[in-house]
A and B are shown apart, each in its own frame.
Chain A
Amino acid sequence: MVRNIELGLGRPLKRRQLLKGAAAIAAAGMFPAIISRRGNAADMPTLVNSIRSLSNPYHATWNAGGAAFAKSVGAEYVTLVTEGNSEKGIADIKAILAKTGGNCAINIDPNDAPDARPIVEACKEAGAYVVTQWNKPADLHPWDYNPNYVAHISFSGVPYGKAMAEALFKSMGGKGGIVALGGIESNVPAIERKAGLEQALKENPGIQLLDFQVANWSDTEALEKTNAWLTQFGDKIGGIWAANDGMGLAAIEALRADGRAGKVPVTGIDGIKLAVEAIQKGEMAGTVAWDPFWQGGMGLAIAFDAKTGVFDPAKEPKDHREFYGTGVIITGENAQAYYDTNIKSEPTLDWKDIWGRASGQIQYN
């Protein structure tokens, strides 16, 4: 009988130890799915939000929205975090499906587009209802998985990238030079937002794009690129367009170190709190709020209503199954109002109005 297993470590490892280790690893893998609060109602579906991390304002607000909806219906609420790891994301979903026996409504921002397929298939098999947001393969459609794959929600970057460019041009008086900070080059939102910027540039010949740099959604990189631009273009920079708020705020800090914050308008996208505050201070010219609170709460509401039979997904039109949500454009005019209703206090949404922000079926090129 083989008692000891050589692992090439120069030291025999007892089989019992190996088994203990394996058990520990398996237990650790299950752990994230187990931490959850117990609900009272036994047949009430568990509500599950699966997001990338809790370390950014966007997903933290998403989670708050989910918690708010769960509270409104009195269901158990679970947050799964992928930490950017697709394997973990899929494994956690399977674990929660097994734990609840499929009695759950899931709202997920898949870590990467290909992850959506195994997740949807697992949900269908278990009888759970799922809504995906942002990422899914173009040929994966909710109506192919009736009724469990309820809907997919995304936001088109093109009109909002364009709207921000227009807000920027307006605050520059319609002429001058701009520089632009883009997100990760292969990233769909980054590509779409840039396309929107380009459309706006085409329609505004008075504006010249001095340079476009990729800052990979990173504050630090955005700061450094802006610093280099200040050397290269100096006073020729009349405005800065950034593909998200973090990069836009970093550009403002670079301007501040140069004594020019507030003199050169900057726009962002995402609608985070600090950006709205910067608009109120006049340092930023605009941003777009996706309203992650709505995404986190309403995504769950749609899946929950389908699961509890409020509506039948199979009978809904396609522009309710795969739709673009509506972003809120924030500029100096409505910044205060937005701040008061969405940031100072927790927003109150009508969770019954599930299709209120559907603005058209998603287009694929």
Chain B
Amino acid sequence: MAAEQWCHLQSAALPERVQTLNNSTTVLSSNNARRPRLRRLRIASWAPVIVLLLLCAIISVINPNFLSFGNMVRISQSAMIPLVLGIGATFIILMGSIDLSVEGVLTLAAVILSMLVLNGENANDYGLFAVAAVLIVGAGVGFINGLINVRLKVPSFMTTLGTWFIGVGVANALLGGMATRINDPWIRGLAIERFWGFPWGVWVALLCLLIALIIQNYTRLGRHIYALGGGEELAALSGISVARVRIAAFTIAGVFYAVGGILAAAQLGLGNAQIGNGRLFTTITAVVVGGTSLSGGQGSVLQTLVGVLIVVVLSNGMVLMGVPPSVQIGVQGLMIIAAVALSIDRKLTKIIK
């Protein structure tokens, strides 16, 4: 019986394994026969960067102000929140899952923060403890996401859809629909005070990027996340605890969303239950435009940085170039398709869902 089961698993896992091996050889091997393919793949993975540079070039020709230092600062301000959110989502998408709880966690984090730091509604003034509490809340929601996904075997799409609504719902209940003004100088300072010309929030986002890069490239968890995205059965057979990796990845993503919530609250100077509206779309767009594959296993947080910059530069540039408001959303749609189309290696992709 046991042997039969093993055989069954083997045969099921086999095609998957062949494909995964194939993928890794194309990336890693320096085998001569593989060369042309290797180069193609490299160009494909640079496509988002090329798109970004092209975009910058076009915009600066039409409006030279684009390249001014002041505008670079403003673009970095607009990019900091999508970057932090995108980093979190990248880990989940790399596993081949999806995380829709971005807005839920962000809203909850912003609202709880606004109620715990010095604010216009109550007498609380917990400062850094509030920040720690918010990060723990983010981790908690992420942990619950992972737990439901793994233990109850609810697909990540539905799990995180649920926690999204729960997060916004709780935030709603906490504030009763009102907005809370944040008066804490430290929190506001993230958006207003500067270091080397850039707001502190931008440095926080870059620190998050650094941490994410370390997790991705230098930890076992990072490698396991890639392994899960490449082929979960194989990863399980080779002794990786799939459940543990999933829960850890969702928890880490939750922390990043909470950081996004802190930055959003700092930027708008308030917490309310609508602060997250529209952020999920930007986040997923940025991750995918950066070249991270929705089917998992391919991509990186650095590519997400490029994706975020494309999205932010485009929306900044459209205002600078005087594109009519009614056309802007359509241009964004075109950009998504173009960027993804450029970065896909069609030879490796056999099935399109």
A residues neighboring B (CB under 8 Å): 53-57, 59-60, 63, 182, 185, 211-214, 218-221, 223-225, 227-232, 234, 246, 249-250, 253, 256-257, 272-274, 277
Contact = CB atoms under 8 A, between A and B. Distances in A.
A56 B320 contact: no
Contacts of B120: 277
Nearest to B168: A55
Q: Would you list the 3 A-B pairs with minimal beta carbon distance, nearest first? A: A60-B177, A228-B319, A214-B325
Contacts of B316: 224, 227-228, 231
A79 B92 CA distance: 39
Contacts of A224: 78, 315-316
Given A213-B319, A224-B315, A227-B78, A54 B268 contact: no
Given A63-B177, A230-B74, A256-B191, 6 more contacts: A56-B177, A60-B177, A219-B275, A220-B268, A224-B78, A250-B268
A230 B315 contact: no
A53 B177 contact: yes
A253 B68 contact: no
Interface string B168-180: 1001100011110
Nearest to B270: A274
A71 to B, nearest CB: 17
B319 A211 contact: yes
B74 A256 contact: no
Given A228-B316, A250-B268, A60 B176 contact: yes
Q: Is the interface of A mostly helix, strand, loop or mixed?
A: helix
B268 A232 contact: no
A253 B168 contact: no
A188 to B, nearest CB: 17
Nearest to A256: B192
A259 to B, nearest CB: 8
Interface in B137-186: 168, 171-172, 176-179, 181
A249 B181 CA distance: 11
Contacts of A223: 78, 267-268
A81 to B, nearest CB: 10
A231 B179 contact: no
A55 B325 contact: no
B17 interface: no
A182 to B, nearest CB: 8
A185 B326 contact: yes
A220 B276 CA distance: 9
Contacts of A214: 325-326, 328
Interface string B259-293: 00000100111101111011100000000000000
Interface in B54-80: 63, 65-66, 68, 70-71, 74, 77-78
Contacts of B328: 214
B65 A231 contact: yes
B278 to A, nearest CB: 6
A54 B319 contact: no
Given A55-B172, A253-B191, A232 B320 contact: yes
Contacts of B181: 274, 277
B322 interface: yes
B326 to A, nearest CB: 6
Given A211-B322, A232-B65, A218 B177 contact: no
User: Looking at A213, A230, A257, A277, which has the most chain B CB atoms within 10 Å of its CB?
Assistant: A257
B191 A228 contact: no
A231 B315 contact: no
B307 interface: no
B325 A274 contact: no
Interface in B296-321: 315-316, 319-320
Given A212-B325, A223-B267, A59 B177 contact: yes
